Amino acid sequence: MQEPLEFTVKYLGYVYVDKPGGGLPDGTAVQKAAKLLKSNQKAARALHPLFARGFDTELKLHLTDSNLRVTIQSEEKGEVVVMNHPLHKIAFVVDIGSCVCIIVKRPGQGKFNCHSFECAKDKLAYDIAFQTARVCNEMFRKIRRVSHRVRRRKPSANAKPQAAHAPKQMQQLLEEDVAAASAVAETEAATIQEATQEIAEEKVKITGKQIELKFLSNISPFLFVLCCTHTGRQLNAQQHEDEDKSKADERAVHFIDNVGDKLAALVLGVKAFDACVFEIDLDSDEFRFGEISGDAEC
């Protein structure tokens, strides 16, 4: 388990970014939510009385390999947890200037909260977004591998073997793997633990043939320079293309919907996830937020 990362932030509040019919909210919806939380809080509160309710004081955002916690320092109670989300509920993360928005799944199809945090500098917002996406993707990658292995061990009676799969079919198969593993986790924890242990013990075996370099004694200097120049241009263009793609992808969370809490806990090696819902007291100096009723959305 890696050491928890800690960041100092201010909480701007949250709004709903629901996706009717299911699926993930798009970038436009997230941008709109971020704008409401940063510069148009009055409009956000008009949508719902608990939207855009943040803290005036600094908070600590703690990022571990299993959850994201936000705490406030209390003179009477010490460190008080005001947010605690398992990583498998984080669907989207984006930094917009000095703000970082974390979109978290809440119960229901296509229902999400967009939490916004203000940072001292743009660089800090970027770092939080990058690190959050990194630890989330490591966790989702592990869940995918374990789920696939469990599905192979316990195939569905209706499953039909297929030789090749299109991208959409692959996504559907992944969702089926996770659903099957989540169901197994509720009754057969040992199966999940065994698959997780096997993956942890696997070692990458590099098997390849030795590359033989042959010297060409009769190649002309002109042809050598021409080949190197052309190849260098190709490699340089490919490098820039890869860098641009990397910058676009490095903060993308490869979210898997409907991962069961039990499955995630077994794969990550934690006993259980702490409750994410806290009492709401708008008059308290240590305002706690949590799930609320209503269908308002930005």
Tens digit of each residue's pLDDT (9 = 90 or more) over 245-256:
455 466 788 888
pLDDT at 155: 59
Euclidean distance between CA atoms 18 and 35, whole angstroms: 16
pTM over 0.75: no
Residue with tokens 């203000």: 118
Whether the CB-CB separation of 110 and 21 falls below 8 Å is answered with yes
pLDDT at 132: 95
Q: What is the pLDDT of residues 177-216, one digit of tens each?
A: 888 888 888 888 888 888 888 888 774 443 344 434 344 4
Whether the CB-CB separation of 180 and 151 falls below 8 Å is answered with yes
149-188 burial, b at 16+ Cβ within 10 Å, e below that, comes to: bbbeeeeeeeeeeeeeeeeeeeeeebeebbbbbbebbeee
Euclidean distance between CA atoms 70 and 128, whole angstroms: 13
Whether the CB-CB separation of 55 and 12 falls below 8 Å is answered with no
**Structure token digits, residue 215:** 């010297």
Those residues of the chain that have pLDDT short of 50 are 157-159, 162-164, 203-217, 222-228, 231, 233, 235, 237, 240-245, 248, 276-295
Euclidean distance between CA atoms 185 and 180, whole angstroms: 9
